[in-house]
Chain A
Amino acid sequence: AQSVSQHNHHVILSEAASLELGCNYSYGGTVNLFWYVQYPGQHLQLLLKYFSGDPLVKGIKGFEAEFIKSKFSFNLRKPSVQWSDTAEYFCAVNAGGSQGNLIFGKGTKLSVKP
């Protein structure tokens, strides 16, 4: 069965620190990859997505993610976090040929100290 693993349950950083959140998936074929963000009290929003082409994908608010096929990974990065980045981040995979639903990781809570 397909699965998505997010390595960190809770990450605490100070403002201006660099961020990298790990995401690995288990599926050998073509995948579409997503990072969603859930700010406190708000609904899930798409942060960025990868379908094909350049494996380095840029999203909103200065976030980027790199798809490394050989490692089945899609890690999320940001060079310098802000207090407003405090949120929960979910990695998700849509495996090629599936019915269209996304498989989500368990989420990583990011707390940024001002």
Chain B
Amino acid sequence: DGGITQSPKYLFRKEGQNVTLSCEQNLNHDAMYWYRQDPGQGLRLIYYSQIVNDFQKGDIAEGYSVSREKKESFPLTVTSAQKNPTAFYLCASSILLGSNTGELFFGEGSRLTVL
């Protein structure tokens, strides 16, 4: 089955700790994205990547970091600098941006709770 796999599904972290969320896709999509979903806020873009070894900041990148060493993988690190990290994190992917379709395929999400 082709799709996007996020792990872990639930994660608890103490304040001051960094945590990395995994996102893997086997759809052969070029572009990958990280969104944050908060109640009543919709989805806000954290980072996105159009190609391996390149990524761009989204609207709320502060306190987060990413890497794109492989086409299939786009891990997100929530650092201790992120002031309000408790949220639901969604990873998505899309086909080559040249087509500009914008249709995103989403993973099931990772819920991070900071204690």
Contacts and interface: CB of A to CB of B under 8 A. Distances in A.
Interface of A: 4, 6, 9, 32, 34, 36, 42-46, 49, 51, 90, 92, 94, 96-102, 104-107
A94 B48 CA distance: 14
Contacts, number: 66
Interface string B74-104: 0000000000000000101010010011111
Contacts of B45: 101
6 residue pairs, one from A and one from B, having the closest CB atoms: A94-B102, A106-B42, A100-B97, A104-B43, A44-B106, A43-B108
B102 A100 contact: yes
Interface of chain A, main secondary structure: loop
Interface residues of B, number: 26
Nearest to B56: A99
Interface in B49-84: 50, 56, 58
A51 B101 contact: yes
Nearest to B97: A100
Contacts of B42: 4, 6, 90, 104-107
A49 B40 contact: no
Contact of B100 (A32, A36, A42, A44): A32
Contact of A94 (B44, B100, B106): B100
